[in-house]
Amino acid sequence: MPTPIQILLIGAGELGAAFLPHLSALPNTHVSVGVRTPAKYQDLAPSNVSLIAMDITSPSTQLSQTFVEYDIVISATGFGQSPGSVTKLAKEVFTAGHLRSLMPFFGEQAEVRNLLRAEAEKSNVKWTIVSTGIFMSFLFEQFWGIVDHKSNPVPVLCSSPDRVVVRALRDWEQKVSVTDVADIGKVLTRVVAGDVEADNRIVYAAGDTVSYRELSEIVECVAGKEVKRVEWTIPHLEAELAKNPDDLINKYRLVFARDGVWWDKKGTVNHQLSIHTMNVEMYARELFAAQK
Ligand SMILES: NC(=O)c1ccc[n+]([C@@H]2O[C@H](COP(=O)([O-])OP(=O)(O)OC[C@H]3O[C@@H](n4cnc5c(N)ncnc54)[C@H](OP(=O)(O)O)[C@@H]3O)[C@@H](O)[C@H]2O)c1
């Protein structure tokens, strides 16, 4: 029996937890999950997975020494890590060397991509950025503000009709790629298994790519509620950010509005490998059925 490939998965939140069933089922691999507080995750980890305590804000020398013990490092730490945390991680991986590093991002995140392209080969590190678009759950989260179940946009004197507000980032023709975390887990695991050419490149996943107009039509159709459509234009989003420059959510909204975070589904790993994925309509049907 060959020596098992050692995988370090950093983070076991919404994304990391969705990777575990797929990664831990790979033959001849052992998965360790690195989090700050392993005690929180005792029930989550399948029995063939180890939990280790680690903090990616620790000094770099310490982390590089940890990474040396692994063949593959996968980063799935939380939303809102300090700026530069992914760059720090990439540099520590270079110091450890002889590794494969996988990073799921919503988009391409130019600084990290350029660093990986410039430095990884010298350190004998192979890398893959898995661009996932927005998480399916995130697209429908109240705090993201795109599918807003709670606002009552029109003051109504005698009755309050049941409405959903759908907002477009930039305009109704802007598109967004969306992937459910379980499907990101399936795609990432096929990348780890070597089923697709992914060394030293960005690969794409998308359960769906929809315009905000299509999203509003899907919500209208499956929710059976009146949809109020509101455009969040780039000037509007810039003005909101100027009021609160540290608001991470507004910063991300501007990225989705300005640059667009979308790609054609035909160019994705899930399409290439015929992986069955959840689309926006399927997710919305489940979500709104659960709310009835
Ligand atoms: N595309 C999208 O729509 C979207 C949406 C949300 C997030 N994301 C990205 O997806 C990734 C994961 O997000 P998530 O929603 O799964 O995050 P999450 O649910 O907040 O989970 C974060 C995980 O990382 C661990 N963690 C946090 N800080 C850490 C540290 N300093 N050192 C080691 N482990 C740490 C946490 O465990 P402990 O607390 O025990 O350390 C937890 O297991 C992030 O890169 C995030 O930016 C993308």
pLDDT digits (tens, 9 = 90+) for 4-14: 999 999 999 99
Measured CA to CA, the distance from residue 209 to residue 232 in angstroms comes to 19
Q: Residues 127, 103: contact at Cβ < 8 Å?
A: yes
Dist. CA 282 → ligand 1 center (Å): 25
What average pLDDT does the segment 168-194 reach?
97
Domains and CATH numbers, the chain: 5-131 (3.40.50.720), 136-178+208-261+278-291 (3.90.25)
Residue with CA closest to ligand 1 atom 11: 76
Checking if the pLDDT of 81 tops 90, the result is no
Cα 142 to the center of its chain, rounded Å? 17
| 93 Cα to the center of ligand 1, angstroms | 18
Q: What are 6's strand-pairing partners?
A: 30
Per-residue pLDDT at 156 exceeds 70: no
Mean pLDDT score, 268-290: 96
Which atom number of ligand 1 is nearest to the Cα of residue 75? 45
* Residue 292 in this model has a pLDDT that exceeds 80: no
pLDDT of residue 152: 61
Residue 59 Cα to ligand 1 midpoint, Å, equals 19
Average pLDDT over residues 35-64: 91
* Ligand 1 environment, Cβ below 6 A: 10-16, 34-37, 40, 54-57, 76-79, 106, 132, 134-135, 138
Q: How far apart are CA 211 and CA 208, in angstroms?
A: 10
Task: Give the pLDDT band (50/70/90) at residue 45.
Answer: low
CA distances from 165 to 6, 35, 93, 280 (A): 46, 37, 44, 17
Distance from the CA of 158 to the center of ligand 1, in angstroms? 44
Say whether pLDDT at 291 is over 70: yes
